[in-house]
Structure 1
């Protein structure tokens, strides 16, 4: 983990505002480390400037509060919603992940590049590219 921290991936303003304990467990740290090492850090190296994590790990209560999918990879620490700061930069990140051939399970253009969702599953990546 070169550019990202576990604390950054667990930080949630929504959890803070609602008093939700969003601390992760050891198995979540393993998954977040794999996501960072295989996708986020190589992406940051290629992108050449900071990438912000809007949402990383979500405990079930936080996931429910933000109306996340009941099967969200965020709850296992396998997903992050990221931004380069604008829809234009998010679009660049979205296509950079693909052009670099980075391993991912799902890559989602969220709300016309308001942010990019990327997930990683050790040894089980489906390479799904979606727009929601």
Structure 2
């Protein structure tokens, strides 16, 4: 993990506010490391500028607290919501991932308010592209 830390992939102001322990399981930690190795670090290399992780790992209690999907990949350490600071820059991140990197899901969230990207190492990545 060259550009991202486990701390930033697990930080959550909601967890802090609610007193939720958002420590990932060993399996989720391994998946987060795979996400960084295969998607986030290469993306940062291509993009050439800082990328912020808004939401990475979410334990089940945190995921429920933020209204996440019941089977969210965030709970397995397979997903991150990222931003480069603006919708224009987030669209660039989206396109770099779509055109150059392996991914399971790539979601344009709220007209590029942020980008959701996931990567799985336990099965074939679907390359599913969505806009929500």
Question: Separation in 1 of the partners of 2:124 and 2:72?
Answer: 15
1:77-110: per-residue Cα shift (whole Å, max 9, x none)?
Answer: 000000000111111100011122x110000000
Structure 1: gaps (5+ residues): none
TM-score, L = length of structure 2: 0.97
The ranges of structure 1 where at least 4 consecutive aligned residues each deviate by more than 2 angstroms after the TM superposition are none
Q: How does 1:1-132 map to 2 (within 5 A)?
A: 1-100=1-100, 102-122=101-121, 123-132=123-132
Considering only aligned residues, what root-mean-square deviation do their CA atoms show, in Å? 0.7
Structure 2: gaps (5+ residues): none
Question: Separation in 2 of the partners of 1:47 and 1:99?
Answer: 13
1:52-96: per-residue Cα shift (whole Å, max 9, x none)?
Answer: 000000000100011000010000000000000011111110001
Total equivalences in the alignment: 131
TM-score, L = length of structure 1: 0.97
